[in-house]
Structure 1
Amino acid sequence: MPTSEQHGIKEHSDGRFGFVPVQTRNDRFTSVDVADFAPVTGREAVWKLSPVKKFTDLTAGVLDGSVYPIESTDVAGVDVAWVNRDDSRVGAAGAPEERAAANAWSSFERALAITISGEEAKEVTLTRSQLGAGPRAAHTIIEAKPFSRATIILENTGEARLSENVEIILGESANLTVVSLQEWGDTAVHLTNHFASVGRDARLKHVVVSLGGSIVRVNPSVRLAGEGSDTDLLGLYFADAGQHLEQQVFVHHDAPNSRSRVTYKGALQGQGARTVWIGDVLIGRNAAGTDSYEQNRNLVLTEGTRADSIPNLEIETGDIKGAGHASATGRFDDEQLFYLQSRGITEDEALQSRGITEDEARRLVVRGFLSEIVQQIGSPALEDRLQLAIEAELLGTEEK
Structure 2
Amino acid sequence: MTTQNMSTDHSRAVLDGAHSHGGGTKPLGSRADRATSFNIADFPVPNGREEDWRFTPLARIEALFAEELTGTGPQVQVSAPESVQVSEVSADRAEELKLVGAPEDRTAVTSWANFKAATVVELPAQTELDEPVLVRLEGADYEASAGHLVIKAGERAKGVVVVSHTGKAKFNQTVQVVAGTDSELTVVATHEWDGQSTHAANHRIAAATGAQVKHIIVTLGGDLVRVCTDARMSEPGANVELLGLYFTDSKQHHEHRLFVAHENRNCISRVTYKGALQGEDAHAVWVGDVLIGAEAFGTDTYELNRNLVLTEGARADSVPNLEIENGEIEGAGHASATGRFDDEQLFYLTSRGIPAEIARKLVVRGFFAELINQIGVPAVSEHLMELIEAELAETEAIAEEQAK
Q: TM-score, normalised by structure 1?
A: 0.89
CA contact (8 A) 2:74 2:169 kept: no
2:260 counterpart SS class: strand
User: For the residues of structure 1 that align with 2:189 and 2:295, how far apart are their CA atoms?
Assistant: 31
Alignment correspondent of 1:109: 116
For residue 31 of structure 2, the aligned residue among 16, 22, 25 is: 25
CA contact (8 A) 1:249 1:280 kept: yes
Q: Deviations over 1:37-72 (max 9, x none)?
A: 112111111110001111211113530265752222
For residue 360 of structure 1, the aligned residue among 358, 361, 382 is: 358
User: For the residues of structure 2 that align with 1:66 and 1:303, how far apart are their CA atoms?
Assistant: 39
1:38 counterpart SS class: coil
| 2:233 matches 1:224 | yes
Give the alignment's Cα RMSD to 1 decimal.
1.7
Trace 1:181-200 onto structure 2 (pairs within 5 A).
181-200=190-209
Trace 1:52-67 onto structure 2 (pairs within 5 A).
52-60=58-66, 62-64=68-70, 66=72
Deviation at 1:295, TM superposition (A): 0.5
Q: Which has the larger radius of gyration?
A: 1
CA contact (8 A) 1:65 1:108 kept: no
Deviation at 1:22, TM superposition (A): 6.3
Structure 1 window deviating more from structure 2 (20-29 vs 119-128): it is 20-29
For residue 185 of structure 2, the aligned residue among 162, 176, 186 is: 176
- 2:88 alignment partner AA: W
- 1:284 alignment partner AA: G
User: For the residues of structure 2 that align with 1:239 and 1:321, how far apart are their CA atoms?
Assistant: 35
Structure 2 unaligned segments of length 5 or more: list them: 1-25, 396-404
For residue 91 of structure 1, the aligned residue among 91, 95, 98 is: 98
Structure 1 unaligned segments of length 5 or more: list them: 1-19, 344-354
CA shift in 2, pair 1:147/1:65, >3 Å: farther
User: For the residues of structure 2 that align with 1:31 and 1:188, how far apart are their CA atoms?
Assistant: 27
User: For the residues of structure 2 that align with 1:188 and 1:110, how far apart are their CA atoms?
Assistant: 22
User: For the residues of structure 1 that align with 2:80 and 2:330, how far apart are their CA atoms?
Assistant: 42
CA contact (8 A) 2:248 2:277 kept: yes
- 1:339 alignment partner AA: Y
User: For the residues of structure 2 that align with 1:272 and 1:323, how far apart are their CA atoms?
Assistant: 34
Alignment correspondent of 1:381: 379
Trace 1:1-400 onto structure 2 (pairs within 5 A).
23-60=29-66, 62-64=68-70, 66=72, 68-85=74-91, 86=93, 89-117=96-124, 118-121=126-129, 122-343=131-352, 355-396=353-394
Structure 1 window deviating more from structure 2 (64-73 vs 183-192): it is 64-73
Deviation at 1:333, TM superposition (A): 2.0
CA contact (8 A) 2:77 2:137 kept: yes
CA contact (8 A) 2:209 2:237 kept: yes
User: For the residues of structure 1 that align with 2:349 and 2:328, how far apart are their CA atoms?
Assistant: 46
User: For the residues of structure 1 that align with 2:71 and 2:111, how far apart are their CA atoms?
Assistant: 8
- 1:125 alignment partner AA: L
- 2:81 alignment partner AA: V
Deviation at 1:315, TM superposition (A): 0.7
Deviation at 1:207, TM superposition (A): 0.2
Higher RCO (Cα < 8 Å, 6 or more apart): 2
CA contact (8 A) 2:73 2:143 kept: no
CA contact (8 A) 2:161 2:186 kept: yes
1:70 counterpart SS class: strand
- 2:340 alignment partner AA: R
User: For the residues of structure 1 that align with 2:298 and 2:65, how far apart are their CA atoms?
Assistant: 40
1:370 counterpart SS class: helix
Deviation at 1:89, TM superposition (A): 4.2
Q: TM-score, normalised by structure 2?
A: 0.88
CA contact (8 A) 2:73 2:171 kept: no
CA shift in 2, pair 1:259/1:224, >3 Å: same
- 2:170 alignment partner AA: R
CA contact (8 A) 1:307 1:329 kept: yes
CA contact (8 A) 2:71 2:143 kept: no
Deviation at 1:110, TM superposition (A): 1.5
CA shift in 2, pair 1:138/1:233, >3 Å: same
Deviation at 1:385, TM superposition (A): 1.4
Q: How many residues matched?
A: 368
CA contact (8 A) 1:231 1:260 kept: yes
CA shift in 2, pair 1:39/1:382, >3 Å: same
Deviation at 1:218, TM superposition (A): 0.8
1:192 counterpart SS class: strand
1:132 counterpart SS class: strand
CA shift in 2, pair 1:162/1:312, >3 Å: same
1:368 counterpart SS class: helix
